[in-house]
Amino acid sequence: MGHLEGDNEMETKNIMIVGVGGQGTLLASKLLGWVLMEKGYDVKVSEVHGMSQRGGSVVTYVRYGERVYSPVIDRGEADIIVAFEQLEAARWLDYLKVGGRILVNTQKTEPMPVITGSAVYPEDLPEKMRSAGAQVDAWDFLLPARMAGSAKAVNIALMGRLSTYFPEDWESVWQEGLEKNVPERFLEMNRKAFEFGKKIQELDK
Amino acid sequence: MKELMLGNKAVARGLYEAGCSVISSYPGTPSTEITEEAAKYDEIYCEWAPNEKVALEAAHGATLGGVRAACAMKHVGLNVAADPLFTISYQGLNAGLVICVADDPGMHSSQNEQDSRHYARAAKVPMLEPSDSEEAREFVHRAYEISENYNTPVLLRLCTRVAHSQSVTQTTERVLPERVPYVKDPAKVMMTKNSRDAHVRVEQRTRDLTAWAESCSLNRMELGTDTSLGIITSGTCYEYAREVWGEMASILKIGMSYPLPEQLFLDFARKVDRLIVLEELDPILEDHCRKLGLSVEGKSLFPICGELSPNLIRQAAGLPVPESRKLEEEIPMRPPVMCAGCPHRGVFYILKKLGCMVYGDIGCYTLGAVAPLNAMDLNVCMGASCSGLHGFLKAAGDEWESRSVGVIGDSTFIHSGITGVIDSAYNMSNSTIIILDNSITGMTGHQQNPATGKNLRGEPAGKVDLEALCRAVGFERVRVEDPYDLEAFEEALKEELTAQAPSIIISRRPCVMIKGVKHEAPIEPKTEKCVGCKSCMRIGCPAISVAEGKVRIDTTLCVGCKVCSKLCKFGVL
Q: Does A28 touch chain B (CB under 8 A)?
A: no
- Residue B385 in 3-state DSSP? helix
Q: Does the residue B148 lie in any domain?
A: yes
Question: Of B197, B213, B229, which residue is a domain's last?
Answer: B213
Is beta strand B2-6 parallel, antiparallel or unpaired with respect to B477-481? unpaired
Identify the bridge partners of residue B378 per DSSP, sorted by sequence position. Answer: B359
Are B117 and B43 part of one and the same domain? yes
CA distance, residue B244 to nearest chain A CA (Å):
9
Nearest to B108 among A51, A55, A134 (CB): A51
Is-above-0.80 flag for pTM? yes
Q: Does the residue B520 lie in any domain?
A: no
Are B292 and B397 part of one and the same domain? no
Question: Of B213, B243, B274, which residue is a domain's last?
Answer: B213
Residue B354 · residue B434 · CB < 8 Å:
no
DSSP B548-571: TTEEEE-TTT-----TTGGG-TTS
Check residue B414 and report its DSSP letter: I
Instruction: Kindly determine whether residue B336 and residue A53, on different chains, have CB atoms separated by under 8 Å.
Output: yes
Residues 144-163 of A with CB under 8 A from B: 151
Domain assignment of residue B292, given as a range: 220-316
Are B496 and B532 part of one and the same domain? no
CATH code: domain of residue B466: 3.40.50.970
Q: Does the residue B324 lie in any domain?
A: no
Taking CA–CA distances from B553, the nearest residue in chain A reads A115
Question: Any idea of the CA torsion for A120, A121, A126, A131, to the nearest 10 degrees?
Answer: 10
Check residue B369 and report its DSSP letter: G
Nearest to B372 among A45, A116, A133 (CB): A116
A133: left (phi over 0), alpha (psi -120 to 50) or beta: left
Identify the bridge partners of residue B100 per DSSP, sorted by sequence position. Answer: B72, B156
Best A63, A72, A88, A135 residue to mutate vs chain B (most B CBs within 10 Å): A72
Are B368 and B293 part of one and the same domain? no
Q: Does B178 touch chain A (CB under 8 A)?
A: no
CATH code: domain of residue B291: 3.40.50.920
CA nearest neighbour of A42 among B166, B286, B246? B166
**Where do the domains of chain A lie?**
13-203
Instruction: Kindly determine whether residue A113 and residue B338, on different chains, have CB atoms separated by under 8 Å.
Output: no
Are B175 and B32 part of one and the same domain? yes
Contacts of A127 (CB under 8 A, 6+ apart): none
Distance in angstroms (rounded) separating the CA atoms of residues A105 and A89: 9
Instruction: Kindly determine whether residue B29 and residue A54, on different chains, have CB atoms separated by under 8 Å.
Output: no
CA nearest neighbour of B431 among B373, B358, B323? B358
Instruction: Kindly determine whether residue A111 and residue B325, on different chains, have CB atoms separated by under 8 Å.
Output: no
Nearest to B323 among A34, A72, A76 (CB): A76
Distance in angstroms (rounded) separating the CA atoms of residues B327 and B329: 5
Give chain A's end-to-end CA distance (angstroms, integer): 17
Q: Which fold has domain A13-203?
A: Pyruvate-ferredoxin Oxidoreductase; domain 3 (3.40.920)
Distance in angstroms (rounded) separating the CA atoms of residues B212 and B149: 11
Chain A residues with beta carbon closer than 8 angstroms to that of B168: 37, 42-43
Nearest to B323 among A98, A110, A120 (CB): A98
Q: Does B549 touch chain A (CB under 8 A)?
A: no
Nearest to B334 among A47, A57, A94 (CB): A57
Contacts of B122 (CB under 8 A, 6+ apart): B86
Q: Does the residue B115 lie in any domain?
A: yes
Amino acid at B166: Q
Are B295 and B435 part of one and the same domain? no
Question: Of B155, B190, B213, which residue is a domain's last?
Answer: B213
Are B208 and B309 part of one and the same domain? no
Are B209 and B231 part of one and the same domain? no
Q: Does B240 touch chain A (CB under 8 A)?
A: yes
Nearest to A115 among B443, B444, B537 (CB): B537
Per-residue 3-state assignment (H helix, E strand, C coil) for B91-105: HCCCCCEEEEEEECC
CA distance, residue B302 to nearest chain A CA (Å):
16
DSSP B259-283: SPPSHHHHHHHHHSSEEEEE-SSS-
The per-residue pLDDT string of chain B (573 residues; one tens digit each, 9 = 90 and over) reads 889 999 999 999 999 999 999 999 999 999 999 999 999 999 999 999 999 999 999 999 999 999 999 999 999 999 999 999 999 999 999 999 999 999 999 999 899 999 999 999 999 999 999 999 999 999 999 999 999 999 999 999 999 999 999 999 999 999 999 999 999 999 999 998 999 999 999 999 999 999 999 999 999 999 999 999 999 999 999 999 999 999 999 999 999 999 999 999 999 999 999 999 999 999 999 999 999 999 999 999 999 999 999 999 999 999 999 999 999 989 999 988 899 999 999 999 999 999 999 999 999 999 999 989 999 999 999 999 999 999 999 999 889 999 999 999 999 999 999 999 999 999 999 999 999 999 999 889 899 999 999 999 999 999 999 999 999 999 999 999 999 999 999 999 999 999 999 999 999 999 999 989 999 999 999 999 999 999 999 999 999 988 888 999 988 889 999 999 999 999 999
Contacts of B351 (CB under 8 A, 6+ apart): B358, B368, B375, B405, B407, B493
Taking CA–CA distances from A57, the nearest residue in chain B reads B334
Residue B545 · residue B536 · CB < 8 Å:
no
pLDDT, mean of each 10-residue run, chain A (205 residues): 52 95 91 96 88 80 97 97 97 95 94 89 96 96 95 96 97 97 95 97 79
CA nearest neighbour of B170 among B351, B302, B10? B10
CA nearest neighbour of B51 among B22, B71, B29, B70? B71
Taking CA–CA distances from A75, the nearest residue in chain B reads B324
Residue A85 · residue A25 · CB < 8 Å:
no
Instruction: Kindly determine whether residue B165 and residue A97, on different chains, have CB atoms separated by under 8 Å.
Output: no
Chain B residues with beta carbon closer than 8 angstroms to that of A69: 239-240, 242-243
Q: How many CB pairs below 8 A link A and B?
A: 191
CA distance, residue B324 to nearest chain A CA (Å):
4
Q: How many CB atoms lie within 10 A of CB A1?
A: 10
Instruction: Tell me what pLDDT residue A6 has.
Output: 44
How many domains is chain B built from?
A: 4
Contacts of B87 (CB under 8 A, 6+ apart): B190
